[in-house]
Structures are given as structure tokens and as C-alpha cells.
Amino acid sequence: MEYSFSNIEPKWQEEWRKNKTYKVEVDNSRPKFYVLDMFPYPSGAGLHVGHPLGYIASDIFSRYKRQKGFNVLHPMGYDAYGLPAEQYAIQTGQHPAVTTEINIKRYREQLDKIGFSFDWNREVQTCDPEYYKWTQWAFIQMFNHWFNNETQKAEPIADLVTEFEKNGNNGINAACSPTEVFTAEEWKAKDEKAQQETLLNYRIAYLADTMVNWCPELGTVLANDEVKDGVSVRGGHPVVQKTMRQWSLRVSAYAERLLAGLDKVDWSDSLKEIQRNWIGKSIGASVHFKLDGHDHQIEIFTTRPDTLYGATFMVMAPEHELVRELTTPDHKEEVEKYIEWAGNRNERERIADAKSITGVFTGAYGINPITNEKIPIWIADYVLMGYGTGAIMAVPAHDSRDFAFAKHFKLPIIQVVVGEGDKESDPANWEESYDAKEGKMINSDLINGLDVKKAIETITKHIESQELGKKQINYKLRDAIFSRQRYWGEPFPVYYKDDMPYVLDEDKLPLELPEVDKYLPTEDGQPPLGRAKNWTTEDGHPLELNTMPGFAGSSAYYLRYMDPRNNDALVSKEANEYWQDVDLYVGGTEHATGHLIYSRFWNKFLFDIGKVIKDEPYKKLINQGMIQGRSNFVYRIKGENKYVSFGLRKDYDVTPIHVDVNIVDNDILDTEAFRNWRPEFKDAEFILEDGKYVCGYAVEKMSKSMFNVVNPDIIIEKYGADTLRLYEMFLGPVEQSKPWDTKGIDGVHRFLKKFWRLFYEGENLIITDEQPNENELKVINKTIHKIGDDIERFSFNTAISAFMICVNDLNDLKCHKKAILEPLTIMLSSFAPHIAEELWHAAGNTSTVIDATFPTYDEKYLK
């Protein structure tokens, strides 16, 4: 019998499906292992060969763990809400649910062909009401909780109300929006609306006027991680800053725990570093600067209180609320002009223009609290309203931005730190500031002679004792803006009474997404849900018109997989206690600052309120690399329908044109297929080299527009799923990005055929029951040792090469002994399940190879 993957693969896929081979249940007699893939957004383009890379790796690991005796949870589902389906709906009028369903079906067909061991009984789709019920439920919990900075955890709003009634809010240290201080009496005197308004400042899911990233093109606000370089990540549309009343999640309250948690998880250093940067902790002091001739004072944040003696001016963000008030009449005009100019600049211009120095003097002076010197107050847009307090003390000698500013506007510069081995010099002659965090203090009265570290400590104590300010920790991490002015997302379980938001009772969930006539904003600028009929509660209160963002549904999906059909809870205690957390999470690094922060936050919140037992959701995380496209080019001679082969193109004046990689094989163009590709090439002529048309190539993103998308179905049709799986892994380390290049796929395919021939010669099964000899035992034991090792460290490419070596050796030894081939087959089944199952049965086994036990090796054969 020849190796016929096209017969074998569908046969066993059907068999596994029939026998529910991949169905898993809680089983307290066996240890659990949870392997999770980041679930895909089902786009209209279907899967390309890059998508399954991570799925194959996690599938191998799942199968391996199963053979090692673990009860493996390995689910899959769909992140089904999202902009592309909605944009498509706007263009075509097609309901996004319909396109999403079609796309999911296509994804499923493609995934099924690859032979994954997913337990599809546990499939979730984020747009399914039974699923998003729990997204809405979590939102309600966040609405009903506040974050206590003292205990560092979420606590019920009801407890907060009790405290307000008893003592007002003075003794409360909460992560909250700015709120006035009130007594118990003042609280009780507030009417319902005023109380609700106050509580809103404390809720973890809260509604507030916030500066948001507004994307006019998409008609919605975007979260920080959805914006890059001033344009939307999806679509690349310009984004502007705008104040809007929006739902936000108080992610920033969890900044410290999100940071600390990173030390407990087994993720790559680079990914942890990205998260640390995003959280952006900095330790320093907030210091009050009195104003000359004003009652107000300005609070600034600095990480270098030691340089206070070198603060020679102050700078405020143009949007700072005090700017207008303290600007003197003679500078008013200038300041107004600057504020307007700065306000009109969008994020993109500001970033692009970062090097030019702009700013104006307000005419006002602050008092340096430590020297009591009068220092001028400027406004400039290099100071951001969104970080710290929106005002800084400028220490030009030791901060490069302040230095550039001082030079430009001829402001005084005082050196207060001198580097080890250096002498004090005149800053007027400096080319650049001395930003170093080491050195000795000079010109600094109280702290002269101290090194920087000690000086920071000393001066901070001094500031605190004199009540000039206090030690302070700042984070870059912002609260997540949670409203989207879009249709295709989870509706908020929120209604409005007297303009105040209230959440629905849990028994009203799910609040299903209503039908609308069009997926566009209403005429008066309301989100699409404004078009829904009867979008009110039973007693007539209007429901929220915004929907939730993409990351809502993906924040707790790993929990839902544990118990996906539970109607009474997101996850039962029993299931949660058994499955606990994700042991291995595989996905792309592009989710480093979005999903992976949000879902950690979400999980920590659920942990706080006692709904889940683990503080961190993803124990180990592997980032699979991206598979880039390898584009091919033909070279058209300008003005002619004639194409010159790659090696000869220099002799002509040519235009490179992308050509569909599916009609190119090893860079050789199928000229006939090219003529048929598109009408304009019908009469194409070619200038060949060595009788062939050689294409040029480039590594680019895999995308339709570059004609470099390779679909896994085509590979499967030609070589089979086992070859595809093997080849994707053989390409190199999973974490590494690499271009897809089919060259070399024959090698792994040949390997499978060779493996097959250890069992079959022509039509005859040639395996024997003979006892293996020393050499054969050495070969198999070494292989068992190596494969186990390699899988444990996710080195699948070297594992495959070990398989190849083993098969080559057995081939040389003419070994067809069952005792050797069976353990080999068991190991290979994680990588190439179909051929392994076929040969496992050919060898006389009746149960599935998937449940076989991973072989053990004997040390004595390893030498």
C-alpha cells in the first residue's frame, strides 16, 4: 500500500469525530493541563498558512501532554465581534452576523482539515448571547465595585455607600476620578442623582468625560492600544483627541498588581518588557509650587526631586486648567493663540514635529519651594496633560528636553549634579544636558555632596516633613475606554434614569443586540443602536447606545472554555478549581499591550470578587512568530506586454509587478497560468533564461494585495495535513518570524513516505515481532530521549530532525520491528496524527494512538 494521505486523513478525522476522541471532562483522578490558543477573528479572507503555526505548535504539545497522562483541555472558538464585519455590513447592507457565520464556517472547515485535537464541544463565539451574557455580567460586577488602594483590591460599592453614610469620603483611599471631599451629613443631604454622580467616580466601570482617541473615519473612539503613530491600527485612519462622555474601566487601579504579576509568569522577557513599558511605573515625588501673587498652587510630578535646586522655570501643558487663570493680561493674547494652535494639532502632527521647540511665557511666576526663588511659568506642548499633573518643574541642566527649551528661549541653567570624576562647568557652554542618574549634588544647599540616590531619599523626606509635597508613584497605564460608537459589539447592560446610568438586573441578561435598519450613526450623530426600535427597559428607560470594544469578549474567554454551557455562572467553582489557569498560552506578540493587559486586569478583578481562584490567567506564554509572505515579481518592459526573466531584467527598462505566488513554483513562473491569470496578460510574451521564466522575490506582509497569500487547503490538497503540520514546524523555531517558502516541503513529505516504507513494502505489511537488537534499541532510545526533551522546550524543528535521523537509521538497519516502530509511531502522532494512527492500526492496535502512553527510554542505550 502506498502512502495515500488523501484517503487516510479524512478517514481518521471522521473516526475521531465519531468517537469523540477529543472531548474532555473534569476528571479528578488525572492531573489537568490547559493549552490555549489565542482565538482568531474570523475574517473574510479565511486562514492563510501563517495562522495555523501557533495552533500546530500547541496541538503537538497538547497531544504530547495527553500521552504523558494529563487530562488536556485544548479548546477553540472565535473572537467574532469586530470592525471588518461591520464595515462590510455598511458597504453591502449584509448583517454582520451573517457574514460572521459564513466566515466561521469557512474557518472551521479549514481548521478541521489540519487535524487539530480541539474539543469543539467547548467552542465559544463572542457574539453568541449565551456567551456575551457573561461579558455583560462582568461589566455589571465592575460597575458595582470600587478599588480600595489600601487593600489593593476591588470591593463592593455597597460597602462604600455604608462608609459614606458613616464617615463621608475623607478616610477612603480609592482609585477614583477627582472627587470633592464630603462628610456623612453632606452625603446624606445629596439627592439620588448627586449620589449616583459621586459613586460614578469610584466605580471600576465608570462613565466620565474623558479625553478620547476619536477616529472620524471609523466613527468611533479607540483605546490607546488601538492607536499607533496617531492613526488607527485597523485601517490606518487619522485619530484626534476629543473630550467625550464614555465608559471606562479603571485598569490603572491595577497597575501595580499588573506589574508585580509579571514576575510570577513564564513569558518571554521581551513581552514582559513591553508590558512593563506600557504600565510605565515611575517613582518620584509630587511637589507643590506656590504661585507669585495667587492663592493657587501648582502640583508637579518629578522623578528627580534631587534636582529641585536646579529648577529654573516651570512648564505647563497648554490644556492645563489653571493656564488661563494665571496668565497675565499682557501675555493673554499670545497664550490664547498658542493654546488654540496646540489644540488644533492632531496627534500625528505633534509626533512628527516633536523636534521643533515651541512654547510661550504666561507672565506668571511660581516659587521654587526649596530655594524660594521666583521662576517663570511657560506653557509648551512638550508637556502632556495626560501624564503626571500636566505641569513640570524644568531642570534644564539635567533634562534634555528642558535643556533644549531653555537654550531656545534663553532661560537660566544651573548645574546641580556633577558626574564622577568631572568638575563643575558653565552650562552656558554645554552642548547637551547631563541626564545621568549618577553623580554628586552641587549648588544644592541641603543635599550638597550626596550622590543622586541618597539625595533623592533625603530631599523627599525633607519635602514630606515640610509639607511641600510627598513621595509619589506614577503610571503611564491609562484606564481603558470601553465605549464604541458601533453596532457589532456587546450591548451594555445599562439604562439611564434622570441621565444617570444604572445597570440591569442580572436576570435580565443577556441583553441581546437589537436589529437596526442601517449600520450607520443616526442623523443626529447617535451610535447605530440609536436606530433600534424600542431600545428601552420594560418601564421605558432608554438603554445605552454604545457597544463594547473588541477586547471585551476576549478578556475572560479562557474561563468560559472551562465550563462553556453553564447558564448560572461564567464558570462553576468545580470546573474552575479543576482547570485553574492556562498552563500554556500560544499567540502573537501583537496582543502584548491590548488583550494581554486587559484580560489580566479582568481576571484580577474576578479574582478579587471571589469568582476565580487564580490571580494570573496565563502561566506560560509562547509568542509564535509571524509567517510573512514571500512575494514574487515579473518584470514588464515599459510600454510593452513583454516580460523579462529575473536575471535579464537589468538589460531592459522594466516595471516589477506582483504576481500570484500560486502560479509560481520555486521562483519559476508557470507562463501559461500567467496568461490565464488576468485578461491583460492573455497575450503576454516572455524573454526567458535557460528556457525558464525566473521571478524576483521579496519578503512582505502576507496579504491579498501582494498576491502572496498561501492557503493551507492548497498545501493539504497537494501534500496532506501531516506534511503541512510537519513543514510549518520544521521551518524553524516557533517564536521566530519567517517568510513562507514552499521550497523544502518535499523534504518532510519524503520523510513521511520513508516512515511509511518502514511498515509497508508495496502492498505488503513488513513489520515483524522480532526482538530488537542493541543497535536498534540505541536508535529508538536516543530518539525517545531527544523528542521528549525537544517537545518540553518547544523546539519542534529539532524534534522533527530527530525523527528524520531515526527513520534514516532504521532504514539503514533495515529494521521493521514492531517493538521499535510502535514507540516511534506514538511519538510521531503528536506531529503527524493521521499517518501515525493509520500505521498504529496497521500494526494491529485497535485503540487510538492518541491515547497511547508516551514511551520511556533506558539510560543505558543513550551512550
Partner RNA sequence: GCGGAUGUGGCGGAAUUGGUAGACGCGCUAGACUUAGGAUCUAGUGUCGAGAGACGUGGGGGUUCGAGUCCCUUCAUCCGCACCA
511 interacts with RNA by CB under 7 A: no
Q: Which residue has the cell 473615519?
A: 217
The separation between the first and the last C-alpha atoms of the chain, rounded to the nearest angstrom, is 37
**Which of 158, 384, 436, 766 is close enough to bind RNA by CB under 7 A?**
384
CB of 798 to RNA, least distance (A): 5
Part in contact with RNA (CB under 7 A); list of ranges 371-379, 560-568, 647-655, 801-809: 801-809
Q: Which stretch binds RNA (CB under 7 A): 119-127, 198-206, 211-219, 794-802?
A: 794-802
> Closest distance between RNA and the C-beta of residue 270, in Å?
3
Q: Distances in Å between the alpha carbon of 511 and those of 126, 132, 535?
A: 14, 9, 10
Q: Does 458 bind RNA (CB under 7 A)?
A: no
Distance of CA 805 to CAs 777, 789, 800, Å? 14, 16, 9
Interface with RNA includes 382 (CB under 7 A)? yes
Q: Is 86 one of the binding residues for RNA (CB under 7 A)?
A: no
How many helical (H) and strand (E) elements, i.e. helices and strands, does the chain have? 27, 34
Segment interacting with RNA (CB under 7 A) among 163-171, 495-503, 529-537, 586-594: 586-594
Distance in Å, CB of 336 to RNA, minimum = 19
**Cα Rg, the chain, nearest whole Å:** 32
Out of 743, 844, 851, 853, the only residue in the binding site for RNA (CB under 7 A) is 743
Reduce the secondary structure of 264-317 to three states and give it as a string.
HCECCHHHHHHHHHHHCCEEEEEEEEEECCCCCEEEEEECCHHHHHHCCEEEEC
Torsion of CA 271, 82, 560, 529, to 10 degrees: 130
Element holding 111 (H helix, E strand): helix 96-114
Residue from the set 7, 196, 241, 303 that interacts with RNA by CB under 7 A:
303
User: Judged by CB under 7 A, does residue 815 bind RNA?
Assistant: no
Does position 379 interact with RNA (CB under 7 A)? The reply is: no
- Contact between 569 and RNA per CB under 7 A: no
Please identify which residue in the block is written with the cell numbers 510605565: 280
Stretch binding RNA (CB under 7 A), from 465-473, 556-564, 649-657, 806-814: 806-814
Q: Among 150, 732, 773, 844, which residue interacts with RNA (rule: CB under 7 A)? A: 732
Q: Does 588 bind RNA (CB under 7 A)?
A: no
Stretch that binds RNA, among 27-35, 679-687, 773-781, 805-813 (CB under 7 A): 805-813
CB atoms closer than 10 angstroms to residue 30: 12
> Which of 674, 683, 633, 671 minimizes the C-alpha distance to 654?
633
How far apart (Å, rounded) are the C-alpha atoms in residues 730 and 797? 4
Contact 67, 853 (CB under 8 A): yes
The residues that bridge with 244 in the sheet, in sequence order, are 210
Q: How far is the CB of 803 from RNA (least distance, A)?
A: 8
Non-local CB neighbours of 641 within 8 Å, separated by 6+ positions: 680, 681, 683, 684, 685
Q: Who's near 59: CB < 8 A, 6+ residues apart?
A: 74, 116, 117, 725, 830
Residue type, 109: E
Tell me: does residue 302 bind RNA (CB under 7 A).
yes
Examine residue 703 and tell whether it contacts RNA (CB under 7 A): no
Instruction: Answer yes or no whether residue 795 interacts with RNA by CB under 7 A.
Output: yes
State the minimum distance, in angstroms, from the CB of residue 539 to RNA: 45
- The amino acid sitting at 207 is L
Distance CA 264, CA 620 (A): 10
Stretch that binds RNA, among 149-157, 268-276, 447-455, 764-772 (CB under 7 A): 268-276
Place of cell 532504521: 810
Q: Which of 454, 540, 49, 549 is nearest to 249 (CA)?
A: 549
Q: Interface with RNA includes 737 (CB under 7 A)? A: yes
480 binds RNA (CB under 7 A): no
Nearer to RNA, 512 or 746 (CB): 746
Does residue number 7 form part of the binding site for RNA (CB under 7 A)?
Answer: no
| CA distance to 8, 600, 807, 854, per residue, from 558 (Å) | 33, 11, 39, 27
277 binds RNA (CB under 7 A): yes
Cβ nearer to RNA, comparing 382 with 605 = 382
SS3 label, residue 429: helix
Residues 6+ apart with CB under 8 A from 37: 54, 55, 58, 76, 585, 586, 587
- Any idea what the Cα angle at residue 478 is, between residues 200 and 140, rounded to 5°? 40
Q: Tell me how far, at minimum, the Cβ of 302 lies from RNA, in Å.
A: 4
Number of shown-chain residues binding RNA (CB under 7 A): 71
Which residues in 305-364 contact RNA (CB under 7 A)? 317, 350-351, 353-354
| Shortest reach from residue 630's CB to RNA, in Å | 10
For the record, the C-alpha cell of 6 comes out as 488523501
Nearer to RNA, 110 or 302 (CB): 302
Among 383, 411, 684, 709, binds RNA (CB under 7 A): 383
Instruction: Output the nine-digit C-alpha cell for 695.
Output: 521571478
Which residue in 80, 804, 827, 832 binds RNA (CB under 7 A)? 804
Q: Which of 301, 578, 697, 756 binds RNA (CB under 7 A)?
A: 301
Considering only the stretches 88-96, 375-383, 514-522, 527-535, report the one whose residues sit in contact with RNA under the rule CB under 7 A. Answer: 375-383
Residues between 119 and 178 with contacts to RNA, criterion CB under 7 A: none
By CB under 7 A, is residue 273 in contact with RNA? yes
Contact status: 388 vs RNA (CB under 7 A): yes
Are 49 and 712 in contact by the 8 Å Cβ rule? The answer is: yes
Residue of the chain from 264, 518, 573, 750 that contacts RNA (CB under 7 A): 750
Exactly one of 18, 423, 793, 863 binds RNA (CB under 7 A); that residue is 793
- Residue 286 within binding range of RNA, rule CB under 7 A: no
Considering only residues 427 to 446 of the shown chain, the ones binding RNA according to CB under 7 A are none
Q: How far apart are CA 727 and CA 747, in angstroms?
A: 9
| Residues within window 593-632 making contact with RNA, judged by CB under 7 A | 593
Min dist. Cβ of residue 186 to RNA (A): 33
Stretch that binds RNA, among 234-242, 587-595, 631-639, 843-851 (CB under 7 A): 587-595
Task: Provide the minimum distance between the beta carbon of 289 and RNA in the complex, in angstroms, as a whole number.
Answer: 13
**Does residue number 790 form part of the binding site for RNA (CB under 7 A)?**
yes
- Single-letter amino acid, residue 276: R
Binding-site member from 786, 816, 817, 834 for RNA (CB under 7 A): 786
Site string for RNA, 208-247 (x = CB under 7 A): -----------------x--x-------------------
Residue 547, φ and ψ in degrees, nearest 5 = -120, 170
**Cβ-Cβ contacts under 8 Å for 118 (sequence gap 6 or more):** 22, 74, 75, 76, 111
Q: Tell me if 284 contacts RNA by CB under 7 A.
A: yes
Query: Which range touches RNA (CB under 7 A), out of 196-204, 363-371, 585-593, 847-855?
Result: 585-593
The rounded distance, in Å, linking the Cα atoms of 306 and 684 is 74
Peptide bond into 564 cis (omega under 30): no
CB atoms within 10 A of CB 824: 23
408 counts as binding RNA under rule CB under 7 A: no
